[in-house]
Amino acid sequence: MKHTKEITYKELVLIYLKTGANAYGGWSTTYLLLEKEFAQKRSLLSKEQLQTAVASGQALPGPAQVIVAAQTSYFLKGVRGSLLATFFYLLPSLVLTFAFCFIYFNYLAGNNSAKYTIGIQAAVGGIVIGNAYKIARINATMPLLWVAALVAALLYSVLNVPTFLIIVIFGIAGIIIKIARGRKNRD
């Protein structure tokens, strides 16, 4: 998809630096921030491109949010833009991780410091649940998708089915449903 509007490398770097600094909770937060910036505000990416980036993040090994950042920036500026954006997306996490490690190993190690992170864990959990609901509300327009999401959650949490297997199962089911609907529409 060729866009009439362009984005400079400086703008790209600043957007991904800001996104990386605010993407608490993983790929869902990254998706929402990039959607707001590139689909709603600037009209540089389509929702389909963003969904393709999320699908890539879910299907490929590694952290999904990094793949979403790399894929969306690739759509905007190619390989060079993807490399730059990915680096600057990760930079805030790297800086915070090194800072927390320094503080922990120099000041908190052995002081039962886990009790200080319980509030942070709850806040991040709330962010993840809130973002998952926002994404589902926008993208899951058919009741069948809500049922699929519930079944997938139960398979994972109750039966401990591996995530990759759930993706494969629902991918095959989606193909079968699409073929069946295509035949139904032709008849």
Q: How is the chain split into domains, by residue range?
A: 9-137, 140-187
CA 187 to CA 185: how far, in whole Å? 6
> pTM for this one?
0.62
Task: Grade residue 140 by pLDDT with cuts at 50, 70 and 90.
Answer: low
Two tokens, residue 70: 């790399």
pLDDT above 70 for 71? yes
Task: Grade residue 112 by pLDDT with cuts at 50, 70 and 90.
Answer: low
Average pLDDT, the chain: 83
pLDDT above 50 for 3? no
Q: What is the pLDDT of residue 77?
A: 94
- Higher pLDDT residue, 138 or 98? 98
**For the chain, where are the alpha helices, taking DSSP H only?**
9-22, 27-34, 47-59, 64-103, 118-139, 143-157, 163-186
Q: What is the pLDDT of residue 2?
A: 44
pLDDT above 50 for 4? no
Task: Grade residue 1 by pLDDT with cuts at 50, 70 and 90.
Answer: very low
CA 167 to CA 156: how far, in whole Å? 11
